[in-house]
Amino acid sequence: MSASKSTSSRGLRLDAYLSRAGLASRREARILIRKSQVCVDGEVCRDAARRIHSETVTLGEETVESPAAHVDFLMHKPIGLACSHDQRESPLVFDLLDGALARRDLEIAGRLDRETSGLLILTTDGDLIHQLTHPTRKLPKRYRIQYKGELAVDAVEQCQAGILLGNDPRPTRPAELELQGAGKATLVLREGRTHQVRRMIRALGGEVVGLHRDRVGNFILPDDLLSGDLRPLDPGGRALLLSDKSL
């Protein structure tokens, strides 16, 4: 059974219910529940783990509208933001969210490092995160690279064969490198090791000076989605994300 079906049959936890309704973060919701500000079917509920099915939930005097089962967004991540909830790593991708959206229980499916821009998926759906990031899926992700230095003459062949990176015991999975003129290339990966693109280019003799992810699966970052903006992901886009056809 998928995670989404399982959640539907068991109901949402009360703290998640409030978060997905955009009324509070999960942490804030637990505080409200402990302070007896949340009622279920007219009775005060202090159990954040209580599962909500068709019950009426109220916060103070206001009835909480039943949240959508899951929400998905795509974002054009700018350079300089961390994919983290930890304020010690500020500024964060989540700082771009405001209003009710900032209080939703959103997580990132496939992070980018601070100095990488491009396509990010934010979702409340743990099953989607699993499908996009689990190593067995081998979903392709395309990166636009700017680099300095000279790459090895057989760089394309090395990527296809796999490269040993530092102390990694296994070579990288076959990857597709396309050289596009002086200092420019694209690289399609089907795995996600830490700083993998930068490490691969370094192993080939270059140094990445600009990195941008523009494709996941068969979904391409829309040209009209400006840096720092986000929008809801429709079902068609979700299907393209999960498509593993060759790029």
- How far apart are alpha carbons 178 and 186 in whole angstroms? 5
Confidence class for position 109, pLDDT limits 50, 70, 90: very high
pTM to 2 decimal places:
0.78
> What CATH number matches the domain at 140-216, 3.40.640.10, 3.90.600.10, 3.30.70.1560, 3.30.420.40?
3.30.70.1560
DSSP single-letter state for residue 82: B
Active site residue 113: yes
Task: Express each pLDDT in 7-54 by its tens digit.
Answer: 445 788 999 889 888 788 888 999 999 999 999 999 999 999 999 988
Class of domain 3-63: alpha beta
Residue 56: C-alpha distances to residues 39, 66, 238 (Å): 8, 9, 31
Closest CA to 73 of 243, 230, 246, 247: 230
Q: What is the CATH T-level fold of the domain 72-134+223-241, as seen in this structure?
A: Alpha-Beta Plaits (3.30.70)
Same fold, 3-63 and 140-216: no
The beta strands (E) that lie in 106-205 are given as 107-108, 116-123, 141-149, 176-179, 184-189
pLDDT in tens, 118-168: 999 999 888 899 999 988 889 999 999 999 999 999 999 999 999 999 888
Residue-wise pLDDT tens digits, 177-235: 999 989 999 999 999 999 999 999 999 999 999 999 999 999 999 999 999 999 999 99
CA distance 107 to 132: 12
Q: What is the C-alpha R_g of the chain?
A: 21
Could you tell me the pLDDT band of residue 2, with boundaries at 50, 70 and 90?
very low
Q: What is the pLDDT at residue 102? A: 74
Domain residue ranges in the chain: 3-63, 72-134+223-241, 140-216
Catalytic-role residue among 95, 113, 154, 229: 113
Neighbouring CB atoms inside 10 A of 109's CB total 19
